[in-house]
Structure 1
Amino acid sequence: MAVNREAKAMEFGDILQVIGEFGWFQKRLVLLICIPNFLTAFQLFGQVFSAKAVPHHCNTSWVRKLGLNLTEEQEMNLTIPRKPDGSFHKCQMFSPVQGHLQPLQLNATESCRDGWVYPEKLQPTLVTEFDLVCERAHLTDISQSVFMGGVLAGALVLGPLSDRIGSRNMILLTLLMMGFFGTGAGMAPRFSFYMAMRFFVGSAFAGISISMAALISEWVGATHRPFVIIITHCCNSVGQMTLAGLAYGIQEWRLYQIVGSFPWLCLFFYIWVLPSSARWLLTRGKVEEAKSEIQRAAAINKRNVPEELLDQLSMQKRGASGTTLDVFTNRHLRKVTIIMAWLWFVVSLVYYGMSLQIEDFGLDIYMTQFVFGAIEIPARFCGILLLQRIGRKKCQAGWFLLGGIVCMIIPAVMQTSPLAVTVLAVINKAAFGAAFSTIYLFSVEVFPTVVRQTCLAVCSVVARIGGIIAPLANILDKIHPAISVVLFGVTALAGGLLCFFLPETQNRDLQDDTTESPSQVSIAENYKSATIFPHQEAPARDFRRKDDTAVSPSQKSVAEDHESSLGRENRSVSFVLQEPPAREFHHEDRDLQDDPTVSPSQQSIAENDKNSTNFPQESPSRDFHHKIQQDSQDVFENRPVEEKD
């Protein structure tokens, strides 16, 4: 049998196996990503402590002008009305009187007109400095929503921009933004200026979180990817634990804000040590720069990359798509994006909603914050085992369903047991902490390389809408304290059910294009399982169409009949493909997708094709050979087939 095959270009997935999928280069990269993840905990949850509730009451210094020489307690008894439970009202005062004081005249009440009084020994906080109490108390929740609004804006702008300038450059830019605007917030003369600084910090957070996830996933092999994602997210949990100690040790809010933000500026050395994504460089046609990064990684991993392999590197063609609009032009990708967007919305809504309500649980907020951070570490590591055993889809669904059920239980014990509420909240925090790590991994594996960061940005946009709603949900609790928790539970349960409509990506290499339909996966998988033959010399079969378009249902049935015939006859045939074969994939791993025109499940075609059996040179039956040839030509769209007598 004559075989006409052209030299195949080496793809990045093959190069990654040569240089090492998790060597010292990748470990150093993980360390570099862990540091910013540790620092982001302050920007996310730091305001919980700088804007915590403090005792206060109306300023009634007017009574001192009457020369009555009263103690502070006597002044409050005389000028501040009491609530039904006997405590002093925080936002009401008796109307001032002129001239001599007559107690019978102190019946009319009004809002505080001269400000508020706070405990003298209390260090300045956002609340005390900007009077965020009474009718201004809602500004603390609004400021958190402004921060999440910045994250939304960052996802819209910095996510697509990261696709153009690369993950490395975006990380360097957002490191500077986090340090500059975070430190500027600590010097804010007005609360409006503080919120503006927080808006830009939120924008930077969106850019850096998307870029870090993309960069580290593109350098690490699929089998190590879950572990790496979990490790980087655990650093955020450690940051949450450290945050409790920092907030307890530094009570003055300006110093607290500066200490939590300035370390970002100390990461300027990343300019020299942070690598670029070689895969992204290839999609941009920067082959020489990609080779340089590959050689650098190989040297650190103490591996040798043959020059002939580097010479085979070719620029991976970028499709006509690559923008946010292209996410909705492919049917499969559109379905996945919509479901993933809802999951991101829910995980952000519940995770931040529960995290920002630690004051409402009735226990010490510093200890609660420490426990919230600590419980995420075993939960995330438990997620590693579950991801490897039951897959991404079932694991993601399990975390959502667990968190949703817990949220629905909390209202039943909310009024009777603060400890039970805290325990349930901790379980919920653990579930959604693990869900956050899982969804980052899951999202990276289902989106193609050239639009991966754009797709993550789309999901992040929807997630930040959830983040914006999360602090505002506290306002609903004024109507009934269980409204926000029930809202969290219902959305979480819905998300858990939607997970089952997503494709499973466990142990598959990340994708490169989306031209083929998901149904094509079964063609190669069934073909592989149905044919087991002795082999001589024969090329691997190629199930790709020439134009990379989807295989029709009729083609699938032809292939299945083909497999059945092979199984019954136990015959062997040989094919000659004159078209260059499709890029080979490893069955255990799924390579990163570089073109938005291939669906996630299509990887299996090339993956299984690589492991399919070879065929002998001789064909025992000419009639049978003719039948197989006709069926195969249907599958391969009438590609030329040569036979050897």
Structure 2
Amino acid sequence: MADFGEMLKAAGDFGLFQKILLIAIWFPFLLLSFIFASVLFADSDPERHCNTDWILGAGPNLTEEEQLNLTVPREPDGSHSRCLMYAPVNWTLDSIRQYGLNHTTACRDGWVYDQTLYQATIVTDFDLVCDKANELAVAQTVLGAGILIGSLLFGPLGESFGRRRTTQIPVLFLFIFTLTGGLSPNFYLYLASQFGAGMGYGGFRMNAIVLMTEWIGITKRSMGACGGQFSGAAGLACMSGINYLTRDWRLAQLVMAMPMALVAVYIWFIPESARWLLDRGRTEEAKELILKAAAINRRTVPQSLFEKITVNKTVEKGGIWVLIKSPVLRKRFLIIVFAWFAVSLTFICLGFNVGKFGLDIFLTELLFGLTELPAHLLCFWLLELAGRKLCLMFTILVGGLACLSILAVPAGNAIAVTVLAITARILMTVGSSISSVYIQELFPTSARHTAAGLGGLATRVAGLLAPSVNLLVVYHYSIPISVFSSLTLLGGALIFLLPETRGIELADSTAQAEIQSNGTKMETGRRSITDDHTAVITSSKL
């Protein structure tokens, strides 16, 4: 009996058709990092002082220094207060100078911000300072919540409505809410836009990877996820350049929304996953797509393969039920999801601290992006050489140790901290790429999208928790690093319990997926399985 892997090989498993699909989906990955721009490049505590222009009514010729000396109290270190001012009075300038002002109050008329680093950020536009300083973490959390809900909503829907639709709709979310975010007149509309953009991010990222993976053959299967991560790292480097040139978060947001408009148009022409169509019993549509792929690849699919297609008389019940009822799949799911969660928590915690490593924020973010590019290229080569299991264990364990090493660096050594942070982030990025490949190969077609979606959901939970973990620094600077590093090391150790999937065809049923636990090649397993729910569809039915 023929399976989809045989037909894909006949049609060309990495020909022009697959390359066009990859480019079409890799380009949006280049833009995904842009939704983090407004929170990553917002200095959480910019230089500032209260707006005290009220005194200019009494002394219009005062210099800025004189104005501050008369209206803003000083801190114990001699600097002007950032959050307090002297209460306005109806006195003459001579009286103010003679008697001085003593009654302090919170800033009444806003702040005057230093614009050396930025012209405008969400912090300065929405005054997220002093008693509202923690609202920057709220913005990060809302973005993470949007990504989580997007993964929860669009991930499992891919099993029922297909990979194509659940890839296309999130792109519209990304375009619309990136645009409205840059136009937001107040913080609350900005939060709503961030939530919507986050939903698009969470929905697109995993669904697109599943769609790419199901169209690529065994030898190049990791290209989809690793290439997407490579494109994302390039986008991160581009984002730092755009922010450096604009220095204004609204302008940067609008510039970043423009290329997403192009994606929102052409994304409607991408194909559905033929593997998913066969799994759902829609053989005519699957045959049409396979023939189209073969024509673009200049290959011919023998009619005999179509005559021997195996499909389910009753479509195997998919989704989360498959993951629950099978002890083997359940164990795999819990291990890979925990490891992926730990990797994402570490990655995001490091990313949100980009401005706190002591070097220029634009340079640090540029280094974050540029240093990840060769890592993703190396990732693809290592996955095919050493396999998924060994590579994932190595990257997670070494990355966790690199994070812990930050605690051993003497205070004030910004270069050493940045090097360790970039090293850990690179390894976490590679670990995330491997996880997104690995999780799809561990589960059958009927549950692949659900597993990948729920795995993506776990990474979004990590994004939601990351700001809170970073806030633990108020108790001791070592607590956040100790928390996410320990989870990462535990996740890396648990990967030892998973089977290797390199060079094994994607499973189409639970029984085929469970064979991997015995280290058996999928082709051998398929010949040894008798499925009471399968039947041969003749050419007349096709």
Fold shared, TM-score > 0.5 on shorter chain: yes
Q: Is the Cα–Cα contact under 8 Å of residues 209 and 224 in structure 2 kept in the other structure?
A: no
Q: Partner residue of 1:309?
A: 305
- Answer whether contact 2:38 2:249 (CA < 8 A) is retained: no
> What SS does the corresponding residue of 1:413 show, helix, strand or coil?
coil
Distance change >3 Å, CA 546–CA 471, structure 1 → 2:
closer
Aligned to 1:154: 150
Q: CA deviation at 1:101?
A: 2.3
1:374 alignment partner in structure 2 = 370
Contact 2:368 2:422 in 1 (8 A): yes
Distance in structure 2 (CA, Å) of the matches to 1:232 and 1:546: 36
Deviates more, 1:409-418 or 1:208-217: 409-418
Matched-pair contact (CA < 8 Å) for 2:394–2:492 = yes
Within 5 Å, which residues of 2 pair with 1:6-17?
8=1, 10-17=2-9
Paired residues of 1:286 and 1:315 also in contact (CA < 8 A): no
Give the equivalent residue in structure 2 for 1:259: 255
Contact 1:287 1:314 in 2 (8 A): no
Question: In the TM superposition, what whole-angstrom CA distance separates every residue of 1:14-45 from its partner, at most 9, and x where no partner exists?
Answer: 10111122111111111111101111111134
Identify the match of residue 462 of structure 2 among 452, 463, 466.
466
What aligned pairs does 1:61-100 form with structure 2 within 5 A after superposition?
61-67=53-59, 69-99=61-91, 100=95
Aligned to 1:400: 396
Larger mean Cα displacement after TM superposition, 41-50 or 255-264: 41-50
SS across alignment from 1:167: coil
- Is 1:286 the equivalent of 2:282? yes
Q: Are 2:517 and 1:543 equivalent residues in the alignment?
A: no
CA distance in 1: counterparts of 2:222 and 2:505, whole angstroms: 13
SS of aligned partner of 1:189: coil
Give the letter for the 2:366 counterpart. Answer: F
Of 105, 108, 113, which residue of structure 2 is paired with 1:110? 105
CA distance in 2, matches of 1:140, 1:115: 17
Distance 1:174 1:133 in 2: 33
State the partner residue of 2:234. Answer: 238
What's the secondary structure of 2:298's corresponding residue? coil
Secondary structure of 1:219 counterpart: coil
State whether structure 2 residue 413 is matched by structure 1 residue 417: yes
8 Å Cα contact 1:29-1:274 kept in structure 2: yes
Structure 1: gaps of 5 or more residues: 1-7, 529-539, 549-578, 582-645
Q: How does 1:517-528 map to 2 (within 5 A)?
A: 518=514, 522=518
Q: Is the 8 A contact 2:313 2:535 kept in 1?
A: no
Equivalent residues, number: 530
Larger Rg: 1
Kindly state the Cα deviation for residue 125 of structure 1 after the two structures are TM-superposed. Answer: 2.5
- Structure 1 counterpart of 2:215: 219
Measure, in 2, the Cα distance between the counterparts of 1:482 and 1:80: 35
Q: CA deviation at 1:288?
A: 0.9
Q: CA deviation at 1:94?
A: 3.4
Query: Matches of 1:23 and 1:40 in 2, distance apart?
Result: 26
- Residue in structure 1 matched with residue 337 of structure 2 by the alignment: 341
Does 2:33 match 1:37? no
Report the alpha carbon displacement of residue 461 of structure 1 after superposing the two structures with TM: 1.7
User: Conserved in 2, the CA contact under 8 Å of 1:58 and 1:80?
Assistant: yes
**RMSD of equivalent CA atoms:** 2.6
What does the per-residue CA deviation read over 1:536-557, in whole Å, with 9 as the maximum and x for residues that have no partner?
xxxx995335659xxxxxxxxx
Could you say which residue in structure 2 is the equivalent of 1:182? 178
Distance 1:508 1:215 in 2: 18
Cα distance in 2, alignment partners of residues 524 and 388 from structure 1? 18
Pairwise CA distance, 1:522: 4.5
Contact 2:310 2:535 in 1 (8 A): no
Q: What does the per-residue CA deviation read over 1:210-243, in whole Å, with 9 as the maximum and x for residues that have no partner?
A: 1111111101011111234222210111111111
Q: How far apart are 1:269 and its partner, in Å?
A: 4.3
The answer to whether structure 1 residue 478 and structure 2 residue 469 are counterparts is no
Give 1:514's aligned residue.
510
**AA at the equivalent of 2:484:** F
Matched, 1:54 2:46: yes
Q: Secondary structure at the match of 1:404?
A: helix
Matched, 1:322 2:322: no
1:35-82 alpha-carbon deviations (Å, 9 max, x no partner): 011111111345322566532111223333443843211222233233
Contact 1:283 1:317 in 2 (8 A): no
SS of 2:508's equivalent?
coil
- The alpha carbon displacement at 1:182 in A equals 1.2
Change in Cα spacing, 1:318 to 1:377, as seen in structure 2 (3 Å) is farther
Counterpart code for 1:116: W
- Quick one: which of 167, 171, 194 aligns to 2:167? 171
Structure 1 pair 418–169 and aligned structure 2 pair: CA distance change class (3 A) = same
Q: What is the distance in 2 between the residues matched to 1:110 and 1:476? A: 29
Structure 2 CA distance for aligned equivalents of residues 315 and 545 of structure 1 = 13
Counterpart amino acid of 1:405?
L
Aligned-partner Cα distance in 2 for 1:140–1:265: 28
Q: Give secondary structure in 2 for the equivalent of 1:262.
A: helix
Q: 1:462 to 1:73 in 2, by over 3 A?
A: same
Check the 8 A contact 2:281/2:315 in 1, yes or no. Answer: no
Secondary structure of the equivalent of 1:86? coil
In 2, distance between residues paired with 1:305 and 1:143? Answer: 52
CA distance in 1, matches of 2:432, 2:283: 34
| Contact 2:70/2:100, CA 8 A, preserved across alignment | no
Q: Which residue of 1 aligns with 2:539?
A: none
Percent of aligned positions that are identical: 36
Cα separation, partners in 2 of 1:420 and 1:228, compared to 1, 3 Å: same
Amino acid at match of 2:133: A
Distance 2:285 2:35 in 1: 35
Q: Report if aligned partners of 2:72, 2:85 keep a CA contact under 8 Å in 1.
A: yes
Give the C-alpha shift of residue 366 in structure 1.
0.9
Following superposition, the deviation at residue 317 of structure 1 comes to 5.2
**Secondary structure in structure 1 of the residue aligned to 2:359:** coil
Tell me, in whole angstroms, the C-alpha distance in 2 between the residues paired with 1:450 and 1:523. 21
1:431 deviation in Å?
Answer: 0.6
Cα pair distance change 1:84/1:43, threshold 3 Å? same
Separation in 2, partners of 1:175, 1:493: 35
Residue 408 of structure 1 deviates from its aligned partner by: 0.9
Within 1, Cα distance between the matches of 2:395 and 2:428? 6
Match of 1:359 in 2: 355
Moved more, 273-282 or 80-89: 80-89
Shift of the alpha carbon at 1:481?
A: 2.7
Cα distance change of structure 1 residues 343 and 523 upon mapping to structure 2, 3 Å threshold: closer
Residue 349 (structure 1) shift: 0.9
- CA distance in 2 between partners of 1:339 and 1:293 (Å): 35
